[in-house]
A and B are shown apart, each in its own frame.
Chain A
Amino acid sequence: AQRVTQPEKLLSVFKGAPVELKCNYSYSGSPELFWYVQYSRQRLQLLLRHISRESIKGFTADLNKGETSFHLKKPFAQEEDSAMYYCALSGNTGFQKLVFGTGTRLLVSP
């Protein structure tokens, strides 16, 4: 069964501090991992996906199959990064469903 765990409900940091939002997954096949973000009064939107291997808004995430993790990182947090972040997992073939974690609220204080 697919499962995504985000152990922190809330992560509070100061502006300029490094940020790491944790995501662990459970999946027997070959996973595809995503980070979605929801800023205040905006829609849930895709932030990045592991197959793209890109940095979006300074965020990166590396898929670690050994540790079954896909942590989201940013070296220097900005106030505008404050949002709800969801890690999500799907299989890489066919009609596999997208499974979301419960989300982590990131609060960046000045």
Chain B
Amino acid sequence: DSGVTQTPKHLITATGQRVTLRCSPRSGDLSVYWYQQSLDQGLQFLIQYYNGEERAKGNILERFSAQQFPDLHSELNLSSLELGDSALYFCASSVGQGANQPQHFGDGTRLSIL
């Protein structure tokens, strides 16, 4: 499957901890986007990388950071976790760097903070 893959599918941890979510983009895609979906909320854009460089930033907390590696996979790091960080985190990828391009989504990582 050459689609967007996200690991892990589920993550359960405690407040104050740090986690890393991983995303491999679709083959040939250079852009990776991260989104957060909380209960009853739409997808909130967090950050975009294109070919290893940060391209756009949304309402991403300072406790969160991301990077895109030379092989184009991306990681989203969430630290000092709070109960409110419990959400579904989606990764998407696209060929180019404009947000007006169709984005291909992964299955998401469900993060639960206890």
Contact = CB atoms under 8 A, between A and B. Distances in A.
A86 B42 contact: yes
B99 A103 contact: no
Interface string B76-114: 000000000000001010000111101111110000000
By DSSP majority rule, is chain B's interface helix, strand, loop, or mixed? loop
A46 interface: yes
Contact of A102 (B4, B40, B45): B40
B35 to A, nearest CB: 8
A98 B45 contact: yes
A25 to B, nearest CB: 13
A55 interface: no
B42 A100 contact: yes
B56 A95 contact: yes
Contacts of B44: 100
Contact of B43 (A49, A86, A90, A92): A86
Contact of A49 (B98, B102, B104): B102
21 contacts: A4-B42, A34-B102, A43-B3, A43-B105, A43-B107, A44-B92, A44-B105, A45-B105, A46-B103, A46-B104, A49-B102, A91-B100, A95-B48, A96-B56, A96-B100, A97-B45, A98-B33, A98-B45, A99-B45, A100-B45, A102-B41
